[in-house]
Each structure stands twice: as structure tokens, then as C-alpha cells.
């Protein structure tokens, strides 16, 4: 086998690979000898089929396997000897297209090599960590919000009309074609107007009713309604309004605390403070991560594989175009050409991606099976009722596994760099942290 370099320009590489006919023939014979003991053929005992007959029967298929194995072997040996890593799958093309059995096989291989990543003194990186304490005002604000979500209802003044958001306590009897139907009646039913818990048009007709009033509600069941005998049918619900109640926030006391799993109000406040500080820490980490990436981007400079930058720029342009055109759901649109801004952002992302990958490899950062399982389960929750199918899909899809593994790996590398960098705490207000986060979103 002969490998000859044809291109070495920047990160671009090209090679001619020649596999001799003798090498191929030897590989085919090795495969035939290996398979001979198990081959059965009419007129011969198992394992006694003559080699010449085997070659005539299976030689052509085995020749294709021998070609592929030889070329793959030559490529792997090249990368092992050179120490280079291709940025993308190498392009391999057979150059003697008029090949016939007995000829050498000639192949052209081309690829872009990943660049050498320069060393970075991570201990010289200086970062600022924004620290926000959950003060009493923040805890009280969160507590009031919780009380609103745990709202109760109290009776309105007699004669008051029901408003959207109010609760009406009703008895109702539903009829289709003058006949009552199963499941169409209830007593003392608490219905919150505007909750959309009843079929379309029902709740709107109860806005303005008063206690002790009787009202017929005329509606049509949707065509796609679950009960086929009611789908698309007109119905009349005779409703007797027993009470009209307005929403009120729950009282902030020990009873409220127990509704949220705490022993008492003090315990609930402690839980809220912990949750708030965890949220602040997450936001602070995002701000510090951006600062770290900016610092690393300034510290390193190296050649980038054009194919990776081009692919990333197209992805950025495509994603931003869809954000600006949310009404277009599919991808059957004209190709989106990246701008200079897209290309610049792509270069940054590729540079930092290669650098973080190198840092993670040298630090032996790994994503554990448990971390992957947790990531898959988190993603699977987006498909209620189909969690098992999603889990199996990911297990069989290497590309999807990589998409889930990549952000976990990156975060672990970022945490590794945080440990080495010089990090100074800076206590700030919640508003200052919020402004820092908003600044990230604007960039």
C-alpha cells in the first residue's frame, strides 16, 4: 500500500492511496480461507468446497469488502502516524473509475485537519462572580406571589354580577335534541370563568350572571370532541347559579406553608430564600461564563477549519432567520446566506468550541452514564406518554446522544476552568444581576 501527499496548505490535506492488486487478492483469499469451514454447497460436504469454486461464487462481494477494509486501514494508519484529526469526515473518491479485477485501486483522500490548540494559562484568567443575597423584601415578594397562586374565593356582595376570573357555583343539566345525556349534569360545580375548562362558548355566557339566577347556555360540541355521539352537536345547558365568588389571595400563614410542603411559615420562607439564591447563582454563573468565554477568546488565536466555520455560519443564519420568521415552520425555503456578522460569530464559536474540547480532553473530563440518563429523562418529559419511545430513539441515535452530551461536557469543562481561574466575589443587588443577564440576551 502506498500513500502519497498531494496537498498540504494551511489545514487542507490531500493524499493518494494506492492498494495493489496483490494486496487485495491476498485479503480476498484470507477471507475465503476463514469462511471455507462453514460453507455448504450442493455436491460437497460442509467445509470441503474447493477454493476456486468459492472464489467464483463469493469473490466479487469479498473484493468489495477487501477494498473498503484496505482503504479504511490506510486512513486509520495515516491518522495514527501523523497524529492529525480530521475536522469532518474525510472525502474519499476512487480515481481509477475504469477499474477491473487485477488492477490496483487508486483513491484520493482529502480533509481539513483540526488545528493545534495553543496552551492557555488558565490561572491568569481573572473573573468576577456576582453574588446576590435573598433579602427579606425578595422573600416577601416571592411569598406574595405564592399566595396568589394558592388563591381562594369568597362570596361577592349579594346581587353582584360575575366577572371573568370569578368562580360561579352552579347546578346544570345539559340536553341534546331535548334529551339529557350522560355526563351532562352536575350539582354545586365550582367553575372559574375564563379557565377554559368547559367547551368553547360556555363560560363566556355566564359572565354577568348573579346568584339565584337561572340561565340557558347554548353551545356546540367541537367536531373533534372525544365522545362521538356528542361531536358537532348543539346543546343547551340549563344553569342555576348558587353563588358568585371573587378570587382572593390566600392568607400568608402556617396553613399556606403546609400547602407547599413546609412545616410552618418560617420553614417556607427558608425554602423560598434557598430557591431564590439558587436562581441568583444560576444567573450569576451564566454571566461569569460569558465573561470567561470572552477572556478565552482574547487569549487564543489559531487557524480554523473553513468547513466548520462555514457550517456553523449557515446554522446561525438559518436559526436567526426562523426566529425572525416564526410563521415559517418547515425548512422548504430559499437558502439563507450568512452575513459577515454571522461568519464572525461562527469563527468565535468554532474557536471556543475547539479550545474547550481540548481543555476537556487534557483534563480527562467525561460525561457519566448517570448524567446522560438524566439528560435524556429531562428531554423525554417534553413528550408526555411517549417517554419510553423517546428513550429508545436516543439510545439508537448517535447524533442525538452527541447533542445531549455536548452541553453537559461544556458545562463540566467550564466548571473545571472556574476552579483554576482567579475568581473574586462581588456582592450586588438583584436589579444589578438582572441588568447583567439582560445585557447577555441583547448581545
CA nearest to 394, candidates 413, 374, 409: 374
pTM: 0.69
Task: Say whether 219 sits in a helix, a strand or coil.
Answer: strand
Least Cα distance to 304 among 351, 355, 353, 352 occurs for 351
Assigned C-alpha cell, 245: 365568588
Distance CA(269)–CA(262), nearest Å, equals: 9
Task: Please say whether the beta carbons of 343 and 313 come within 8 A.
Answer: yes
* pLDDT for the residue 25: 83
* pLDDT tens digits along 142-194: 998 888 777 788 999 999 999 999 999 999 999 999 999 988 999 999 999 99
Mean pLDDT of 361-366: 94
Most confident of 65-79, 96-110, 138-152, 179-193: 179-193
Q: How far is CA 427 from CA 284, 334, 433, in A?
A: 11, 49, 10
346-357 pLDDT, tens per residue? Answer: 999 999 999 999
Residue 388, CB half-sphere, CA atoms under 13 Å: how many?
1
The one-character DSSP state at 33 is H
CA 76, CA 79: separation in Å to the nearest integer?
Answer: 5
Contacts 24+ apart (CB under 8 A), 27-30: 27/66, 27/69, 27/70, 28/55, 28/59, 28/62, 28/63, 28/66, 29/55
Position 193 scores a pLDDT of: 95
Who has greater pLDDT, 195 or 152? 195
pLDDT-derived band of residue 443, with 50, 70 and 90 as boundaries?
low
pLDDT, mean of residues 317-335? 83
Q: How far is 21 from 32, CA to CA, in rounded Å?
A: 17
Q: Please provide the DSSP assignment of 367-419 as one string.
A: --HHHHHHHHHHHHTTSTT-HHHHHHHHHT-HHHHHHHHHHHHHHHHHHHHHH
Percent helix, strand, coil in the chain (nearest 5)?
A: 50, 20, 30
**391 vs 386: CA distance, rounded Å:** 9
- Looking up cell 418547515 gives 330
For the cut 80, the answer to whether the pLDDT of residue 43 exceeds it is no
> Residue 28: which residues within 8 A CB-CB, separation 6 or more?
55, 59, 62, 63, 66
C-alpha closest to that of 347 among 400, 300, 390, 382: 300
pLDDT digits (tens, 9 = 90+) for 221-274: 998 888 888 999 999 999 999 999 999 877 888 888 888 888 899 999 999 999
CA distances from 273 to 27, 60, 262, 268, 280 (A): 70, 73, 13, 9, 10
Please name the residue that has the C-alpha cell 461464487.
57
Amino acid at each position: 500500500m502506498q500513500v502519497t501527499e498531494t496537498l498540504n496548505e494551511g489545514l487542507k490535506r490531500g493524499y493518494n492511496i494506492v492498494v495493489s492488486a496483490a494486496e487485495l487478492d491476498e485479503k480476498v483469499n484470507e477471507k475465503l480461507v476463514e469462511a471455507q469451514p462453514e460453507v455448504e454447497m450442493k455436491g460437497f460436504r460442509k467445509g470441503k468446497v474447493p477454493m476456486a469454486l468459492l472464489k467464483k461464487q463469493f469473490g466479487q462481494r469479498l473484493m468489495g469488502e477487501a477494498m473498503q477494509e484496505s482503504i479504511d486501514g490506510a486512513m486509520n494508519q495515516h491518522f495514527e502516524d501523523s497524529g492529525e484529526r480530521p475536522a469532518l469526515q474525510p472525502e474519499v473518491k476512487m480515481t481509477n473509475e475504469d477499474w477491473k479485477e487485477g488492477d490496483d485501486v487508486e483513491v484520493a483522500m482529502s480533509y481539513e485537519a483540526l488545528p493545534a490548540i495553543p496552551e492557555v494559562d488558565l490561572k491568569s484568567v481573572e473573573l468576577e462572580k456576582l453574588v446576590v443575597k435573598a433579602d427579606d423584601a425578595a422573600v416577601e415578594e416571592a411569598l406574595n406571589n405564592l399566595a396568589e397562586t394558592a388563591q381562594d374565593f369568597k362570596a361577592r356582595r349579594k346581587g353582584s354580577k360575575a366577572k371573568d376570573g370569578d368562580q360561579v357555583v352552579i347546578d346544570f343539566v345539559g340536553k341534546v335534541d331535548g334529551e339529557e345525556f350522560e355526563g351532562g349534569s352536575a350539582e354545586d360545580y365550582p367553575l372559574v370563568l375564563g379557565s377554559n375548562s368547559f367547551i368553547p362558548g360556555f363560560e363566556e355566557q355566564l359572565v354577568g350572571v348573579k346568584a339565584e339566577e337561572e340561565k340557558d347556555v347554548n353551545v356546540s360540541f367541537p367536531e373533534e370532541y372525544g365522545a362521538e355521539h356528542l361531536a358537532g352537536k348543539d346543546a343547551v345547558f340549563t344553569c342555576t347559579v348558587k353563588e358568585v365568588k371573587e378570587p382572593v389571595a390566600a392568607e400568608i400563614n402556617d396553613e399556606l406553608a403546609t400547602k407547599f410542603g413546609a412545616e410552618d411559615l418560617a420553614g417556607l420562607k427558608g425554602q423560598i430564600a434557598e430557591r431564590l439564591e439558587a436562581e441568583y447563582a444560576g444567573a450569576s454563573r451564566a454571566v461569569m461564563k460569558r465573561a470567561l468565554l470572552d477572556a478565552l477568546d482574547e487569549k487564543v488565536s489559531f487557524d480554523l477549519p473553513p468547513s466548520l466555520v462555514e457550517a456553523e455560519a449557515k446554522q446561525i443564519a438559518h436559526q436567526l432567520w426562523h426566529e425572525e420568521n416564526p410563521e415559517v415552520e418547515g425548512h422548504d425555503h430559499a437558502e439563507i446566506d450568512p452575513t459577515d456578522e454571522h461568519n464572525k460569530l461562527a469563527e468565535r464559536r468554532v474557536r471556543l468550541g475547539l479550545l474547550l474540547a481540548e481543555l476537556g480532553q487534557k483534563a480527562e473530563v467525561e460525561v457519566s452514564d448517570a448524567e446522560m440518563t438524566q439528560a435524556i429523562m429531562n428531554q423525554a418529559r417534553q413528550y408526555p406518554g411517549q417517554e419510553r419511545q423517546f428513550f429508545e430513539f436516543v439510545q439508537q441515535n448517535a447524533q442525538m446522544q452527541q447533542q445531549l452530551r455536548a452541553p453537559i461536557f461544556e458545562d463540566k469543562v467550564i466548571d473545571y476552568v472556574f476552579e483554576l481561574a482567579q475568581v473574586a466575589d462581588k456582592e450586588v443587588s438583584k436589579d444589578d444581576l438582572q441588568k447583567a443577564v439582560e445585557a447577555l440576551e441583547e448581545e
